[in-house]
Amino acid sequence: MALSGDQSKLLHEALVSAFTYDELQRLTWFNLNVMLPVVVANGPVDRVVYDLIKYAEQYGIIEDLVRAASESRPRNPLIKKAASLILAPGGSVEE
């Protein structure tokens, strides 16, 4: 699944707001069997998240990433919005 620019932007904002670098490492390892430092360069969280989204799209695991984030942060409003829009059939960021 390839995200639209708006979906990518929303997911990026949601992940940056919800996770630290260490939390992203655990999320990707425990839920996706992906070692974050192996697939993206270390750096500021916003850059790591950007690279992670691109990696997840490239390897077809973007929906898994969104589900894992949603399960990990079920009360985070940005994560909830991103998950509902990205995982819904024909999901759109338009309101």
The answer to the question of residue 95 being in a domain is no
pTM equals 0.89
Domain count, the chain: 1
Domain that holds residue 35: 5-87
The answer to the question of residue 19 being in a domain is yes
Per-residue pLDDT of the chain in tens (95 residues, 90 and over written 9): 789 999 999 999 999 999 999 999 999 999 999 999 999 999 999 999 999 999 999 999 999 999 999 999 999 999 999 999 999 876 544 43
Q: Provide CB contacts within 8 A for 69, sequence distance 6+.
A: 14, 15, 18, 19, 27, 79, 82, 83
Exposed e or buried b for every residue in 16-47, given b needs 16+ CB within 10 A?
Answer: bebbeeeebbebbeebbebebeebbeeeebee
